[in-house]
Structure 1
């Protein structure tokens, strides 16, 4: 397997640090707003990478954080006149609601910055002790000029660097490029006790602390959007290497932007579509298939026309797999009700079956080669479409042969088609994560679940406000349509279909 390493700017053979295991860290969202399609791209890309490693037999530890203390969060909280905690809880919950339809792996570790303040303080102390950081008036800064390899990831020289996003110009710093590890408390901001007084962590130090806590000083893969290369990932490398002298991440992977009319989709530019808006028109499987149809390092230009085309493609894939299921069901029925004869190797149908088996194996090998070549999902999809076409041909032949011949050869036909069908479904669903389910039914199910949550929230609020008439009306109305609700002692409510 070869992956494009941003650090070396070339494709490199993937060799895990520990045999049979992969440790990967991907920067997650800053939770001050709903995520847009551009935010969703790394979520899908690195989910597929983790799935593929599992498919190849690796034990995967995958960490993706939530940044739940940040200038943008504080600004949003002040605008809405609520606590930062209320903002972060709202948008973390929204993150899970919005990504649920994307079929993301459930075993991803998702630490929050606020849960790792002690680890952040520890690494900051270590940087001061090692001579790479300094404290001024309760603020702690990393001394960029002390780290000789600064700029290596982004391929820039310190003398030529322009100050990137989130690098504050503060007069008290020794150098404009020095970045904050710890920020002194300001009025109206969340804060924690530290050796330098009350304050909060800087942005970059957070990921260094969390990746080390869950993956160690050295791990296999660090990923994120290409907009994070500088300054965020550049600063992470500087902090982690100077604090603990490990290698930090061995491979650096970055996905390209989602664009609209050639411009990057972003909240700051105002040219974005929230993921939840898109999911109101298309299923999560359509969104996922749309994202993986372009190589992860290339930009994707978003349009609703392309999304409609992706929907049609997915519909055709689902129809084909439904057809294979029907053919298999028919063959299985014949197996259960007939005395089967042994098939001779000279039989022409047997020869066709052998050729089909070889083609199926070839499709699997081509899929692996595509995914091994820097996670080339468009090429992997191409092999899947080729396999679907071949299976359609096989189904055509099965449907045309006589019932007698089909009956005689049903066991072999079923075995071969079933093996090809299973391998195909594993590649589509388990590796690429696109579920072959009826979109309309899935959409209705998701809508029903959301409506139930809304009704239960309205009823809960009614009970808190002692509006028992409305509370009882909702309960009795739900019972009439077959939904029984139960109020628990802890204040929560469960429901069951009766």
Structure 2
């Protein structure tokens, strides 16, 4: 089975052939840490960590880097509004990001470079670009000269005129061309800054990723990934400055871009005010429900986030965990991932097909209850689900989890269930029905089965 990926650079699905199978390199753009991330920011983290997991299954060495942007004008503004030092803002929200990713089942990257720890590399890259005629200094700024790079616009498929017309470019007298972008800019005393040949200042956003990927992955990397909203200008500018800084070498051989999230049909945007904060969603819903929704659509397609999608995801996972609960007394051996399931993921991360196959494995496992096939069926089902980060919980615990602050007391519920069972045994059905109604009022559903009485949160 060969991995095939849609390469945004060539606009087609291609066989993935790394430069060095013993050291496959993957770089994904991470967060700017000035606040909690919204659910749309979580999609690339989930998708491309899954890609890294898949790469590790097929290549002996993989280096996955996902950066932290910890110097940025939004960070400066957040620090100003809060009255806190800038480092307090970045440390807090970088830690929150890592915690939220862990709760979401996202594998940590091998390397997590921070922009502020790569200032010497950023300055050195600026100096190389100036020396080679691809950048220039003006009024304590360093700017990339887009006219010096003939292929500018190839990644995004835009002409220079279209990019100038469609981009929010800063009109500045020190620019040779309106599309020239900042590599380094001056800092006032109240802003973070570092000494440089052009005065005290700080890096532009684009060159941070170029310097960090060069430092940890090399001049040419195998895969660069991120949201489609970053394709222009961020990734386009990365290509230009990295290619020119490395004497014309290819910067990234494969470019992957995930589609954007909409919220009940509308574009999710901070400016519109309809973003959903991941940190808050994780307190309201089981993390696997959120993960399921983020993976249910193909990563390159837009994904609509809605209450309906969340309910459907919860219902599906309830059904799958119900199968595991029915098979709780069956030992599942270590089982290889079913070939057709893994093949679907190797086909440009085709998670819709993978989830359809997973539903089939769940049905097979359900039908196996009480038969000699149960052990293998459960093992195959779990092996597939675990590969995409699902069904890691104990089945009973899944049904008893509650939203943060919901106030459900499991010990109290267990006591009521035991009291109801005792009432039924004594043929006091009126009391048993009274307890059922009391539990229903607490949003608890009870189920009588051959294995005994079970309860779960929700209807």
Q: Report the TM-score range of the alignment, normalised by the length of the smaller protein.
A: 0.7 to 0.9
8 Å CA contact 1:104–1:433 kept in 2: the answer is: no
- Which residue does the alignment assign to 1:256? 259
Equivalent residue in structure 2 for 1:375, among 334, 349, 355: 349
Structure 2 partner of 1:293: 296
Equivalent in 228, 235, 238 of residue 236 of structure 1: 238
Equivalent position of 1:486 in the other structure: none
Give the 5 Å matches for 1:280-359. 280-328=283-331
Q: Conserved in 1, the CA contact under 8 Å of 2:283 and 2:403?
A: no
3-state SS in 2 of match to 1:301: strand
Q: TM-score, normalised by structure 2?
A: 0.82
Q: Deviations over 1:282-321 (max 9, x none)?
A: 0111100111111101111111121022111111111212
Give the match's secondary structure for 2:369.
helix
Distance 1:221 1:198 in 2: 34
- Could you tell me how far apart the structure 2 residues matched to 1:444 and 1:108 are? 32
How far apart, in 2, do the equivalents of 1:57 and 1:432 lie?
A: 20
- The superposition leaves residues 109-138 of structure 1 with CA deviations (integer Å, 9 ceiling, x where unpaired) of 211100110111111111111110000121
In the alignment, structure 1 segments of 5+ residues that lack a partner are 333-359, 399-412, 449-498
CA–CA distance in 2 between the matches of 1:434 and 1:58?
27
Q: Distance in 2 between matches of 1:327 and 1:98?
A: 33
The residue that corresponds to 1:387 in the other structure is: 361
Structure 2: gaps of 5 or more residues: 408-459
Whole-Å Cα distance in 2 between the matches of residues 181 and 20 of structure 1? 33
The counterpart of 2:227, out of the listed 218, 221, 225, is 225
1:210: Cα distance to partner?
Answer: 0.4
Residues 27 and 64, structure 1, Cα contact 8 Å, conserved in 2: yes
2: CA distance, partners of 1:158 / 1:107: 35
Q: Give the one of 35, 38, 41 matched to 1:39.
A: 41
Deviations 1:21-55 (A, max 9, x none): 42100000111111010011111111111112223
Q: Compute the displacement of 1:19 (Å).
A: 1.8
Q: Equivalent residue for 1:70?
A: 72
Tell whether the 8 Å contact from 1:51 to 1:432 is kept in structure 2 after alignment: no
What is the match of residue 424 of structure 1? 381
Within a 5 Å distance, the mapping from 1:422-461 to structure 2 comes to: 422-433=379-390, 435-437=392-394, 438-439=397-398
Q: Is the 8 Å Cα contact of residues 257 and 300 (structure 1) preserved in structure 2?
A: yes
| Cα deviation code 1:416-472 (max 9, x no counterpart) | 643443333222123445524433666689999xxxxxxxxxxxxxxxxxxxxxxxx
Q: Return the match for 1:183 from 166, 182, 185.
A: 185
2:145 equivalent in structure 1: 143
Conserved? CA contact 1:101–1:283, under 8 Å: no
Residue range with higher mean Cα deviation, 198-207 or 83-92: 83-92
Distance 1:433 1:205, change over 3 A: farther
- The 3 A distance-change label for structure 1 pair 325 and 440 is closer
Q: What's the offset of the Cα at 1:172? A: 1.2
* Distance in structure 2 (CA, Å) of the matches to 1:65 and 1:254: 16
Q: Which has the larger radius of gyration?
A: 1
Change over 3 Å in CA distance of 1:165–1:428 after alignment to 2? farther
Q: Is the Cα contact below 8 Å between 2:364 and 2:377 reproduced in 1?
A: no
8 Å CA contact 1:181–1:205 kept in 2: the answer is: yes
Structure 2 residue corresponding to 1:268, chosen from 263, 267, 271: 271
Distance in 2, Cα, partners of 1:66 & 1:442: 32
Aligned Cα root-mean-square deviation (Å): 2.3
Instruction: State the Cα distance separating 1:84 from its structure 2 match.
Output: 1.5
CA contact (8 A) 1:7 1:252 kept: yes
SS of the equivalent of 1:327 reads coil
Displacement of 1:167 in angstroms is 4.1
- Alpha-carbon distance between aligned partners in 2 of 1:295 and 1:4, rounded to the nearest angstrom: 12
Secondary structure (helix, strand or coil) at the match of 1:62 reads: strand
Residue 24 of structure 2 aligns with which residue? 22
Residue deviations 1:192-250 (CA, integer Å, cap 9, x gap): 01111110000000000001111001111100110000000000000100001321111
Per mean C-alpha deviation after superposition, the further-off stretch among 210-219 and 364-373 is 364-373
- CA–CA distance in structure 1, aligned partners of residues 172 and 141 of structure 2: 11
Closer, same or farther in 2 for the Cα pair 1:209/1:257, shift >3 Å? same
Separation in structure 1 between the aligned mates of residue 76 and residue 15 of structure 2, nearest angstrom: 43
TM-score normalized by structure 1? 0.76
Of Structure 1 and Structure 2, the greater helix share is in 1
Structure 2 residue aligned with 1:56: 58
Matches for 1:25-174 after TM superposition, within 5 Å: 25-162=27-164, 167-174=169-176
Distance between the aligned counterparts of 1:447 and 1:212, measured in 2?
47
CA distance in 1, matches of 2:294, 2:114: 27
Contact 1:29 1:39 in 2 (8 A): yes
CA distance in 1, matches of 2:377, 2:172: 62
Structure 2 equivalent of residue 353 of structure 1: none
> Relative to structure 2, which stretch is displaced further, 15-24 or 37-46?
15-24
